[in-house]
Amino acid sequence: MSRVTVSRLRKMKQEGEKIVSLTAYDASFAWLIEDAGVEVILVGDSLGMVIQGRDSTIPVTLDDMVYHTRAVSHGTRESLLIADMPFASYGSSGQALASAARLMQEGGAQMVKLEVTGEMTEIVHFLAQRGVPVCAHLGLLPQTVHKLGGYKIQGRGEAGEALVRDARAMEAAGADLIVVELIPVEVAKRLSESVSIPVIGIGAGVDCDGQVLVLYDMLGITPGKRPRFSRDFLAEAGSVPAALRLYVESVKKGRFPGPEHRIA
């Protein structure tokens, strides 16, 4: 099989086939994840927490992201590889393009992900016009944790409507994919129905076009407390390859997330 493309993901959305995604930070896990049938691999800046042991994603540098993206890229042939743009690496359009270029040229990423609000369509448009595939991350934006005062649910009440508008604006600006994090299930459903690009959710209910989790959460090896929206597939399945296969099957059949993973 050849590389998963943006048009393939769009077709999956149109046909109602769930898109499966997981984070990875090294080549060995990337290979296992791809072998299990995961379409999209994300080198998340969550590596600051699960790999580096920091208490937020803010200390993660562009060099860190390039290093892990390159490692993951050497373990994948078929999955679409997305790299997170780290904190303060996309403060202007020019800086964003330079950062994306490193993740794509040195790291081997096929797409970059930016934590955005509706105010940031200009940067997304600038990247898209220059051939950079963009994933717009909406909802809970972990890179703003010190402004938010914690990892709290976003998009309640009026803010839900704003999120749907932001998603439309991101599509119009040229984004190819959306990730929504920790927002009410009904908002995620409406948002997914409001755009024709695929929407992948985390802590956002089962009605998104696909799901993503942090690898170490779904393997139950994250120290301390795991987010409530996650599930320990390794405990259920008994081995890493079986856990990955169970996750893929559960997402494909709409069995994950279930009502017990609902935040709001």
Q: Catalytic residue positions? A: 181
Nearer Cβ to Mg ion (84/171): 84
User: Hey, which residues does 134 pair with through a beta bridge?
Assistant: 112
The answer to whether 251 and 22 have CB atoms below 8 angstroms apart is no
Residue 263 touching ligand MHF (CB under 6 A): yes
CB of 45 to ligand KIV, least distance (A): 5
CB of 25 to ligand MHF, least distance (A): 11
- Residue 46 marked in a binding site: yes
Question: Can you tell me the distance from the alpha carbon of 231 to that of 251, in angstroms, rounded to the nearest whole number?
Answer: 12
Rg value, the chain, Cα: 17
SS3 82: strand
φ/ψ region of 235 (left if φ > 0, alpha if ψ in -120 to 50, else beta) reads alpha
Residue 46 touching ligand MHF (CB under 6 A): yes
Residue 202 touching ligand KIV (CB under 6 A): yes
Choices 87-95, 186-194, 224-232, 244-252 (CB under 6 A): range interacting with ligand MHF: 224-232
The answer to whether 42 and 210 have CB atoms below 8 angstroms apart is no
* β strands within the chain, DSSP E: 19-23, 40-43, 80-84, 111-115, 134-139, 177-181, 199-202, 210-213
Residue with tokens 């209910």: 205
Choices 3-11, 38-46, 104-112, 244-252 (CB under 6 A): range interacting with ligand KIV: 38-46
- Residue 113 marked in a binding site: yes
Residue nearest to ligand KIV (CB): 44
Binding site, annotated residues for Mg(2+):
45, 84, 115
Binding site, annotated residues for 3-methyl-2-oxobutanoate:
45-46, 84, 113
Binding site for ligand MHF (CB under 6 A): 46, 49-50, 57, 142, 151-153, 182, 214, 216-217, 222, 227-229, 263
